[in-house]
A = this chain, B = another copy of it.
């Protein structure tokens, strides 16, 4: 288990992940923070909204961009409970997110530290600072329990 207090935004992202799981969606949550203020939040809504793009990160980034009235989220940080997939990593880069904090690694679909490694491509125009393993055990446990119940 994590041995120091998790950052507040990651605790909020974990709470959103729990909410996703309770509504039958894969439990992943995300929070966008600017200057200490939460300006976007999201959890998986792909089934609920009939939207293949409605991953937690995309929902949170879109809300933050609406809030700022700009498609560029300058000086904003994203907290997400699971390693982003290629779609979400691409969106994070397009959004100009400054710092990405994520919880569990995702060997099956992650595209940051494995697979497509979106931020490591020469083409990647904006690479956020990346901090992984923040709330890893809590995020992984939520996912494990969710899939165990459905087997």
Chain A positions near chain B (C-beta within 8 angstroms): 46-47, 49-54, 58, 61-62, 65-66, 68-73, 85-91, 93-96, 107-111, 114-118, 121-125
Contacts and interface: CB of A to CB of B under 8 A. Distances in A.
Contact of A65 (B51, B88, B122): B51
Q: Count copies of this chain in the complex.
A: 2
Contacts of A62: 51-53
B122 A116 contact: no
A66 B48 CA distance: 11
A66 B88 contact: no
B90 A71 contact: no
A116 B85 CA distance: 12
Contacts of A86: 86-87, 89-90, 93, 111, 116, 118, 121
